[in-house]
Amino acid sequence: MDEVIYTLDPEGDIFLVLDNVTENLPGSLWDIEDSTLAGFPNSSMHPEPLPEHTEDIGNSEEENRAVEVDYREDTDQSVNLPKDRQHVEQHLRIRASSKHLTLACPQFKRTLQPGFQEGNELKSKGYLEIPVQDWPALPFLIVAMIIHGRTRTVPRKVSLERLAEIAVIVDYYECYEAVEIFSDMWINTLAERPMESVSDAEKWLFISWAFQQDTIFESSSKYLQLRYTTNMATIPYPIPSSVRGQFTSMPTLLFP
Q: Cβ(244)–Cβ(233) under 8 Å?
A: yes
Question: Using one digit for the tens of pLDDT, what is the confidence trace for 66-78?
Answer: 333 333 333 333 3
CA dist., res. 225 & res. 117, Å (int): 45
% of residues, the chain, pLDDT over 70:
74
Output the pLDDT for position 227: 80
Q: What is the mean pLDDT of residues 192-200?
A: 87
Residue 133's pLDDT band (cuts 50, 70, 90):
confident
Predicted confidence band of residue 12 (pLDDT cuts 50, 70, 90)? very high
Mean pLDDT of the region 158-163: 97
Grouping H, G, I as helix, E, B as strand and the rest as coil, residue 15 is: strand
Pairing mode, strands 14-21 and 128-131: parallel
Burial letters 136-161, b for 16+ CB under 10 A, else e? bbbbbbbbbbbbbebeeebbebbbbb
Q: Domain limits of the chain? A: 2-73+83-162
Average confidence score pLDDT of the chain = 81
pLDDT of residue 1: 59
Task: Give the 3-state secondary structure of residue 98.
Answer: helix
Residue type, 82: P
